[in-house]
Amino acid sequence: MNKSVSLLLLSLLLALQFALWVGDKNFFDLKQLEATVATLTLDIEALDLRNQKLLAEVIDLKQGGETIETLARSELGLIKPNETFYQIVK
């Protein structure tokens, strides 16, 4: 009886070890998923920071005309009437 129980426990242990190392959803898959989660977490943090900057810019644009004027001058090259525009080429 004792020998059959030991054999049963050993076979159960081997089956569990096989499932852990080779079976579906094994140890290596878990490590790969953990690495993917870490990478995606860093990507999400970077995108959150970008979204915060864009939100701050939107709020600034809604509240102040000075920001709109600055953006129009730098990005679109707009000038006010009676101003002279000088461009320095390096």
Q: Which pLDDT score, from 0 to 100, does residue 40 have? A: 97
Q: Among 28-32, 37-41, 64-68, 82-86, which range has the highest average pLDDT? A: 37-41
Contact 53, 47 (CB under 8 A): no
Rounded Cα–Cα distance for residues 66 and 63 (Å):
9
> For 8-23, how does the pLDDT look when each residue is reduced to its tens digit (9 = 90+)?
888 888 888 887 777 7
pLDDT exceeding 90 applies to what percent of the chain? 27
